[in-house]
């Protein structure tokens, strides 16, 4: 059973997700469909890229990942398939597939052009159903990716990079908030290795937002601090995360996805 | 693998969806379950009928569509199965199945009566689990529909019709808003063919709501107008849709599902 | 095909649900995954316990139920597997599995300890993905539960009991509100048998909340009263439920989950 995953901003109050699944199952009834999310924020390719990047690597070898967050549907942007070391990514050429594909190692990029592998009538407003769903279904049946259309060089596709945390000086990192999760955990782009090197033997960090400063212990798990207290840890995705035990750090810090914070090394909890 | 789809207003904070799936899988573990939506507005059979009508046709031949939007559960309304050219529809006889079934071509209607095909104890508050789920599961196993209960004539079931757009004069259509989607797109009941005949060589329409008028270009896709601008197009379901490129037309027009708008043909963008 | 169910408070805006499913499918691609809910209120083990208790019994024999509502993740709480007469329950030892497991009949409890059955790197913040998902997948492949780790006695695990309704005097029950559903139905812990004994030949009850009293008919189904009117019935889960026909009883009564109400037997509708 091949796995096809779906990531969209469609929600579940409309028929769109069901239509995509219906098209896929009509072509390959033996596929396993997994929803990564249909609650991507409307048109937010950064949100979708983050979900795909963090989750795709856990899927079985050969999984096909379809993303439809596509504000430019029907315009000039291309429709593409990216084959990587372990997976196949399908979606609009707006960068949304890029971070996940790069991390897995891009082998080949194709522009979707072959009308035989699409729905007979391709609308200009719903490529998820008319282009990406049938392509995913045919590839899940074992059709070679060369049939979808001509090769593109990496120079021909849109890039999207998650920002990198910047070491400002020996003592300070400028980090970006790349995601705030359902629990209010504030996830930064500081990676495990980078953070370990930075932290050294310190066991606290000072976090500066636009309007306030906090000194926070660096721990392994939420319950090491009292309920309602701030903490920092390397989370399950390998990123530095600022959290509150049984609370929402995003509210305590008063920050949003996309914001910046400055992180300084501290050897004790004093301000 | 037979497909059974589910459309309900249950949401996911309660055990009801899981109970239906559990009952189905207990009878036929080899079925493919697809959620069309569990976020139908509470008791809103028009919303459910729209989702079913628009999405059901993409499913594989033989798919079984179960709908449980059922404010009259346990009362006098019948429980029915409608067999159409390609599908089987199961649900309460409140009209919710009707538009989709009519469009596919009704072959046979049965009232659900045979207690052998139901859960042993049928509650009067959850027919989705106790009646519709087991009937769907048994039919997916190949049991003949004649076993569910006696035939009903089409005169004996509740009808529900989506309103039809009315051509008022050579120059004006009165349209109904049949759905507003997650993106704020305003979907009317004007169909592709009707609109093409009406529009002729004009390339704009004037839209009159209760409180305002807008002149809008008729285009093929969202990105043909500037971000934030209104447009009209035939959408992926074949209906006339009023949209805003990367915005929410429902907010700009200030309209709701069920409302009326008047559409006039225009040859230029002047008011 | 074995069924694995998932119940979490993760929502669908994060990659966490997808990561769990990905891990499961990587170990056993032939499993049927069913979402009981991912909309459990954040950290609310009572909500999760209610969903599991009410829905698990409808699943096929041998179903594996995974629950990840786990505010103490990474702390001292154990990770456990409970084998019952018909099912296997997997989750944190915080009581969330307990009501459902007790009701089905506990046969054996194991602490999860065997690193060979976990992900190679177990993070301290996401046991759902790193511990519970792989254990569920391996058990679904037929691995004997004895391999997960040492036996625990029932005295060694956390208990959680749904409160019991108390008969205060011949005429009065003190009931707890154990759930309010998507329709605003107020579900109490008064069970069918207990209520029948209490009600006798009466056909009304008086409900006292903190701030008001209501006299309500006891009926079989919602549509027996006028739209907008209160009613009481034994619901599809076997609990006494206070409802409003096509309305939300929780708003009319102004009550919340966890609150108490007093119920008195009445022979007519007079106050």
Number of H helices and E strands in chain A, helices first, is 7, 15
**Whole-prediction pTM:** 0.96
- φ, ψ of residue A33 to 5 degrees: the values are -95, 130
pLDDT in tens, A60-90: 999 999 999 999 898 899 999 999 999 999 9
- How far apart, in whole angstroms, are the C-alpha atoms of residue C202 and residue C184? 25
Q: Which residue of A has its CA nearest to C127?
A: A236
Provide, as residue numbers in chain C, all residues whose Cβ is less than 8 Å from the Cβ of B71: 222-223, 246
Residue B84: the pLDDT is 98
Closest Cβ opposite residue A55 in set C13, C19, C71: C19
Q: How many CA atoms lie within 13 A of A127 on its CB side?
A: 26
In 3-state terms, what secondary structure has residue C180?
strand
Task: Tell whether the model's pLDDT for residue C170 goes beyond 90.
Answer: no
Tell which of C12, C30, C56, C58 to mutate to test the B interface (max B CBs under 10 Å).
C58
What are the CA-CA distances from residue A31 to residues A63, A100, A264, C156 (Å)? Answer: 10, 22, 49, 43
A-chain residues near B181 (CB < 8 A): 13-14, 16
Test B73 with C233 for CB contact under 8 angstroms.
no
B224-231: long-range contacts (C-beta < 8 A, 24 or more apart)?
B224/A75
Residue B162 Cα, gap to closest chain A Cα (Å): 16
- Residue numbers of chain A with a pLDDT score lower than 70: 271
pLDDT for position B66: 98
Q: How many Å lie between the alpha carbon of A58 and the closest alpha carbon of chain C?
A: 5
Q: What percent of chain B has pLDDT over 90?
A: 95
* Tokens 């019948």, residue located: B78
Stronger pLDDT, C1 or B159, i.e. the higher one: B159
pLDDT tens-digit readout, B72-90: 898 899 999 999 999 999 9
> pLDDT band for position C271 (50/70/90)?
low
Three-class SS of residue C265? strand
The dihedral through the CA atoms of C197, C201, C203, C208 has a sign that is: negative
User: What pLDDT does A135 receive?
Assistant: 98
Give contacts of A224 with chain C, Cβ < 8 Å. Answer: 75
Distance from CA of C139 to the nearest CA of A (A): 18
Residue pairs spanning B and C at CB distance below 8 A: 97
**Backbone torsions φ then ψ of C106, nearest 5 degrees:** -75, 130
In this prediction, the answer to ipTM > 0.90 reads yes
Residue B150: pLDDT above 90?
yes
Q: What is the pLDDT of residues C209-228, one digit of tens each?
A: 999 999 999 999 999 999 99
CB–CB of A182/A248 below 8 Å?
A: no
Residues 6+ apart with CB under 8 A from A2: A28, A30, A31, A32, A62, A63, A64, A140
Handedness of CA B145, B148, B150, B156 (dihedral sign): negative
What pLDDT score does C269 carry?
Answer: 80
Residue A11: list chain B partners with CB under 8 A: 39, 182
How would you label A130-158 residue by residue, b for 16+ Cβ within 10 Å and e otherwise? bbbbbbbbbbbeeeebeebbeebeeeebb
Q: Is A268 helix (H, G, I), strand (E, B) or coil?
A: coil
In this prediction, residue A271 carries a pLDDT of 66
| Separation between Cα atoms, residue A264 and residue A271, nearest integer Å | 11
pLDDT at A269: 80
CA A104 to chain CA centroid, nearest Å: 13
pLDDT above 80 (res B209): yes
Per-residue pLDDT tens digits for B23-72: 999 999 999 999 999 999 999 999 999 999 999 999 999 999 999 999 98
pLDDT value of residue A170: 86
* Tokens representing residue B75 in the block: 């009362």
Please name the residues in contact with B90: beta carbons below 8 A apart, sequence gap of 6 or more: B64, B65, B66, B67, B80, B81, B82, B97, B112, B132, B135, B136, B139
Calpha distance C88→C86 (Å, rounded): 7
């Amino acid at each position: 059973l091949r796995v096809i995953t779906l990531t969209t901003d469609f929600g579940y109050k409309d028929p769109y997700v069901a239509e995509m699944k219906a098209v896929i199952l009509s072509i390959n009834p033996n596929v396993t469909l997994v929803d990564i999310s249909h609650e991507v924020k409307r048109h937010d390719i950064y949100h979708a890229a983050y979900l795909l990047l963090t989750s795709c690597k856990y899927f079985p070898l050969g999984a096909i990942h379809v993303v439809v967050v596509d504000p430019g549907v029907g315009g000039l942007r291309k429709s593409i398939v990216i084959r990587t070391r372990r997976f196949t990514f399908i979606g609009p050429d707006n960068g949304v597939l890029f971070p996940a594909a790069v991390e897995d190692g891009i082998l080949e990029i194709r522009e979707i052009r072959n009308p035989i592998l699409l729905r007979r009538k391709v609308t200009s407003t719903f490529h998820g159903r008319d282009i990406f769903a049938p392509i995913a279904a045919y590839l899940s049946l074992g059709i070679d990716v060369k049939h979808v259309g001509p090769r593109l060089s990496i120079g021909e596709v849109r890039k999207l990079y998650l920002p990198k945390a910047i070491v400002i000086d020996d003592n300070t990192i400028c980090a970006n908030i790349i995601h705030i999760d359902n629990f209010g955990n504030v996830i930064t782009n500081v990676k495990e290795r980078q953070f370990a090197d930075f932290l050294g033997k310190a066991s606290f960090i000072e976090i500066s937002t636009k309007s306030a400063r906090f000194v926070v212990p660096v721990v392994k798990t939420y319950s090491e601090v009292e309920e309602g207290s701030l903490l920092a840890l390397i989370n399950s995705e390998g990123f530095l995360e600022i959290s509150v035990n049984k609370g929402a750090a995003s509210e305590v810090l008063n920050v949003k996805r996309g914001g910046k914070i400055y992180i300084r090394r501290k050897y004790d909890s004093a301000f």
